[in-house]
Amino acid sequence: MDKPPPPKPPLLPLLCSQLSLQHRVNEVTLTSAFLSWRDVETRPKRTSGSIYGPLKAAGSHYVPVCEIISVQETEEDCPNTDVGKWQKVPHNPAESNQHAFTVSYVERTPKHRWRCSEVTLHCTDRTLCLQWVQAIREQLSLLTIRPKRLLVYINPYGGKHRGKRIYEQKVAPIFSRASISTDVIVTERANHARDHLKTEADLKKYDGLVCVGGDGMFSEIMHGLISRTQRDSGVDQDRSDETLIPCGLRIGIIPAGSTDCVCYATVGSNDPVTSALHIVVGDSQPMDVCSIHHNNTFLRYSVSLLGYGFYGDVLTDSERKRWMGPARYDISGVKTFLSHRYYEGTISFLPADENVGTPRDKLQCRAGCNICRLPTADKQVYKDKESGSDTETDGAWQVIRGKFLAINAACMSCACPRSPKGLAPSAHLADGTADLILVRKCTRFDFLRHLLRHTNKDDQFDHPFVEVYRVRQFRFTPRYEDGDSELELREAGGSGHARFFSQICREHPACTCSLAHSSWNCDGEILPHAAIQVRVHCQLIKLFARGIEEQSVFEEPYALGAM
Ligand SMILES: Nc1ncnc2c1ncn2[C@@H]1O[C@H](COP(=O)(O)OP(=O)(O)OP(=O)(O)O)[C@@H](O)[C@H]1O
């Protein structure tokens, strides 16, 4: 049996003083890990109620140093003795302290939201006050993962057109309090941010990028950064077998779109202040990215949903209804569901190794995920496989042919407020795999049952017509390829005339027979080809995030024994 780890040695206090907080004497201690304060005037008792906020145990408050945003000397108003007004006479010497400093720190509130809280501590003299400010600043300066200079892109037209206001009112003040300097670019057209990143931006000047917008804007920035990194390293994106170079800069997402799925899945909420605070504390969440190719031509990158059939058709239809606003997604969803189209094709995939779990193991990816920490060993296996032949003849690839209502691949859970567990509840952010979900032709009623399970706790994969695989690569070939010749179609069992008439039939609203092919919905963009090759690149990008925190993070007393 393993021996229990030896108890941690107590952290030596760097500074410890009796300071005044709201007219009460508190013992305030700074170690390299925590700032704590404890009311020494009352007998300690365990706090009840909220489990959130600075860690509270036995009347003490603990703020991890890594969650302190800033510290500054506080300008105190001198008591005005000339005005003749009644003034409370201090009964405690600590109350008359006029030198104070204010510490801003992260406070957790329900639903994974973070807030910026403050505590103001009063000192007997200015020297002590400055000593405290300096000691805390010294500890903060050791946190080298924190960004100092950021390049911010704002999409002023994302979501409800509030990107600029959200940034100016909620985010910029937090960055300024944390002494982060910024260069801000308000985009003037679609792909402005992508093109700027690809060619012009002097990336060496920055510690990270910030995207103010929705998933479409994030995708733009991700494309710009990945393309730039590959170009600077001489890597050809068009080659589907290239090993891509991981991007050095982290991306922070300030949610300001109509869909903020990537932010929700990596932070746990779509709240601009929470995202800004994750940037300030210098969080880092690696993320897998899928590259998508058609015949050795690069098409796009994807981090969330790649969907053919149902989700492709919903997007194609909703794009025609842009004028309707966000309601178009619901209307197109109902219309596509009623049309009940299925598509024929062949899926070939390279399964992931068993050590990364399975899509149905109910092991959700959370902050500090053990499976995502494995990739170094796992990538090796991946490389070994790649160095051999990766054709269908090497035995590792599996091939499935059939008629599908939907083919979905997800690199992350795709959780969102509407579907809290997401399309692929057990998919991991950074394990080098995607969950491939195949929904075979079934009745409308069965498909509805499957779709409804995305919104409740039932297992959406527990149907005989649904298969799900954890994969590293896959290819899809529709039965009738984009450029199929008449001869091929005839050989496949239909003449040119038959195809012509079947096309008319399909365009009839009552028709439910199969179309030649659907389109791929790639993170909200339509791909121009149905036949694609997809490969997951393990931890290609990094976000200013830490994954969704377990509720226990709020409860754990952060090894208080070590204080
Ligand atoms: N200045 C701009 N003018 C027009 N389009 C822009 C501008 N800046 C960015 N875009 C584009 O707007 C699209 C949508 O932006 P974003 O994702 O921020 O908002 P959204 O409301 O979530 O989007 P969607 O309409 O896709 O749900 C992005 O694809 C982006 O390329």
Q: Is 257 in the pocket of ligand 1 (CB under 6 A)?
A: yes
Going by the DSSP 8-state scheme, the letter that residue 133 receives in this structure is H
Q: Which atom of ligand 1 is nearest to the CA of 524?
A: 26
Q: What is the pLDDT of residue 85?
A: 40
Residue 278, classed as helix, strand or coil, is helix
CA dihedral 248, 250, 256, 262 (to 10 degrees): 90
As a whole number, mean pLDDT of residues 100-113 equals 95
Q: What is the pLDDT of residue 375?
A: 53
Spatial contact of 187 and 193, defined as CB atoms under 8 Å apart: yes
Overall fold of domain 15-143: PH-domain like (2.30.29)
Is the beta carbon of 523 within 6 A of some atom in ligand 1?
A: no
Largest CA distance in the chain: 102
Rounded distance between C-alpha atoms, residue 157 and residue 550, angstroms: 34
Residue 43 confidence (pLDDT):
64
Q: What pLDDT does 226 receive? A: 98
Nearest residue (CA) to ligand 1, atom 5: 190
Pairing mode of beta strands 532-543, 250-255 = parallel
Residue with more model confidence, 229 or 353: 229
- CA-nearest residue for atom 10, ligand 1, is 190
- At 156, list the tokens: 């002023």
Residue 506 has pLDDT above 60, yes or no: no
Residue 105's contacts (CB-CB under 8 Å, 6 or more residues apart) are 35, 54, 63, 67, 68, 69, 116, 117, 118, 119
pLDDT value at 422 more than 70 = yes
Predicted pLDDT at 94 = 46
Which among 157, 212, 270 is the best mutation to test ligand 1's pocket, defined by most ligand atoms within 8 Å of the CB? 157
- Ligand 1 atom showing the smallest separation from residue 191 Cα: 31
* Domain 149-479+516-543 class in CATH: mainly beta
Centre of ligand 1 from the C-alpha of residue 101, in Å: 42
155 lines ligand 1 (CB under 6 A): yes
Q: Is any atom of ligand 1 closer than 6 Å to the C-beta of 255?
A: no
The Cα–Cα gap between 315 and 518 comes to: 11
Which range, 70-84, 367-381, 527-541, is most confident? 527-541
Atom of ligand 1 nearest to the CA of 216: 17
Contact between 469 and 460 (Cβ < 8 Å) = no
**Ligand 1: nearest atom to the Cα of 159:** 21
For the CA of 219, the nearest atom of ligand 1: 29
Burial of 113 (0-12, 13-18, 19+ CB in 10 A): middle
Residue 521 Cβ < 6 Å to ligand 1: no
Please list the active-site residues. Answer: 215
Mean pLDDT of 336-344: 94
ipTM for the whole complex: 0.96
Spans of all domains in the chain: 15-143, 149-479+516-543
Give the residue, out of 152, 154, 155, with the most ligand 1 atoms within 8 A of its beta carbon, to mutate for a pocket test: 155
Q: In angstroms, rounded to a whole number, what is the distance separating the alpha carbons of residues 483 and 78? A: 81
- Report how far apart, in Å, the C-alpha atoms of 12 and of each of 25, 33, 387, 410 are: 22, 10, 52, 47
pLDDT band at 215 (very low <50, low <70, confident <90, very high): very high
In three-state secondary structure terms, 207 is coil
Q: In this model, does residue 365 exceed pLDDT 90?
A: yes
Q: Residues 56-91: pLDDT tens digits?
A: 555 689 999 999 999 999 976 544 433 334 334 344
DSSP state string for 351-379: EPPGGG--TTS-----TT-TTTT-HHHHH
Q: What is the DSSP string of 368-419?
A: T-TTTT-HHHHHHHHHHHHHS--SGGGS--EEEEEEEEEEEEESS---BTTB
Percentage of the residues of the chain whose pLDDT score is greater than 70? 79
Cα-to-centroid distance, 178 and ligand 1 (Å): 29
Residue 424, SS3 per DSSP: coil
**d(CA 154, ligand 1 centre) in Å:** 10
Say yes or no: CB of residue 214 within 6 Å of ligand 1: yes
190 CA distance to ligand 1 middle (Å): 7
Sign of CA dihedral 129, 132, 136, 141: positive
pLDDT of 387 over the 70 cut: no
167, 194, 217, best to mutate for ligand 1 pocket (most atoms within 8 Å of CB): 217
Which carries the bigger pLDDT value, residue 481 or residue 257?
257
